Structure 1
């Protein structure tokens, strides 16, 4: 899927959010701990509540009757549209609740209608900055939200009344972003917790045509499937919850597929090695991360065959396509997982799991002792020793009742 902006449109890209994470190259090759998720405030990873966000609550009485372009006509490109999509960069949404307008850094942003500023947030590399304006339109409350500003307080303050067409900020590229642009959202009722509207449709109904006002229109189509990779070792869970049961562990760089917009509760439904489950949104990237394996699996040695034996994993461990850290991570193993080893190569062990032939380092695999078979006395004729009183019981235990004294 094309990225939202090109250097030809914006004159250069801002700092991105793709943070390559390499697997630990130590001999044990243990799977790294999950990194903390990216901050969730902002357009592409909206907060689940408004707790802790600076703002005011008002009851607007002035009814907005005039509507304006959020960026001057012929000063922007009409890019990533409203609706389901493949995330264009790590941290970006796959359910796009706004319309993107590409423009150079510092381009003025205007309020689309009369209203009052109720929220501001200054952005940074990880969080999308924004200004939120509350409006009264046809007797209903609406909020317009303007994202990816670097500094949200260059032109307005919380509680300030603004007019349609008034400058409220400047285009930036803060948070999950592929380049400078305005991401515009329209909410009926509460911001984030209300009803989301397509900004293009909402403004067109009020005389503002975002498409005709653009210098170019990117007719981006929604693909049937998205390709993603894990940025670190992460769990594939059975439900869209961080407490859902673990189906399997995925190593860093694992290749996944997903349907555009198939997300819930900050989790994305994915297919991994034929298994379907949910992965934390913050653990996914559309770009193959560095360190995901450089040697093709076809070049992996077969190793020396051994008598199949069970081993138990003693820590979170990467399972790779070959016997070495230069092979791709295919799966992640949780402590306590039992596998059957069929071959070895140096300190590496080969086994099959979830339909794949994989390798892990033996330092964190303990052999499972074979169960001890119960001993059975040989049948035959025996004589009680002279001078010994012997009790015959109803079963093979001293707790069974005595049936006869010999």
Structure 2
């Protein structure tokens, strides 16, 4: 079970977050903050965050996606069209360390909670904007979803190289990568504030985030002046780069560096091996051919035989699993990755925190809240006066 509120041991213990995000990008950012000890107040409109209703759940408004990215937070319902509720939000701002939202710039400013408004209440606050497109470009203010950002950052184009048809990847990658980027940007600003006392405004945009993410390896020759080639990393887009079919299934393996290659060739002795593939540089220039030949070789043994051999050679290899199988993975269970907490509808088994700390460990902060579950608790505390009163248990 999580530690009691106000006594969480994580590295962000004592950090107070006013969270006006919705959907996944910003919510994933603040979910990690909650797991790492922060007290996160999720401010929702009367209808609630849309993710409450988009997937399976034990009751209406408690869908699985929502439950995972909003675990351990406190839900406060405020109608920001109301003067009284805007005053309540200002009270939360006064006692907060972080203010984070995912509204369009015009909308948040129109409500009276742009950066200048919030900083006037609390000059030391870290104010994080989660946008689709940065405000300094022509895309500012455009609606953005994971699918459209995947398209603009080149992911479907890369998939077309692999499969022959443009397609999205099977996860909401743009939302999650942008959420993690918002997380580290916010924590960096908190670190600056810890050293200087200065608050500041932070902006994280999904499009810019995913452009940077995709171009880590794919910028390649296009980075140079003049360009030395197209923006693509050939190994990643080889159509033969896929799990290898075996006699009875599939196996993922990467015979990559020269040491691994020499060990593989020495043990398997494929007829096609020779000097033309002896070095990593040679194999990289012929990567489609190399993958195709390896595919023919892997078809000759069973998955188990390959896993045993490759393990003995210290060559990375793994079975191809389903997502459901992750819940029974022996490694994940041995390291305590999954954490079960009591939720409003019974126990919930959450995927836990992937980062480990020797002194300030994080953990699943608790179940996701029902809509407005903490409104009375938080607003009653505000009515008692003072910044600290706004945060029961602090």
**What's the TM-score, normalizing by structure 1?**
0.26
Which gives a bigger RCO, structure 1 or 2 (Cα 8 Å, sep 6+)? 2
**What's the TM-score, normalizing by structure 2?**
0.27
Q: Determine which structure has the larger helix proportion and give its number.
A: 2
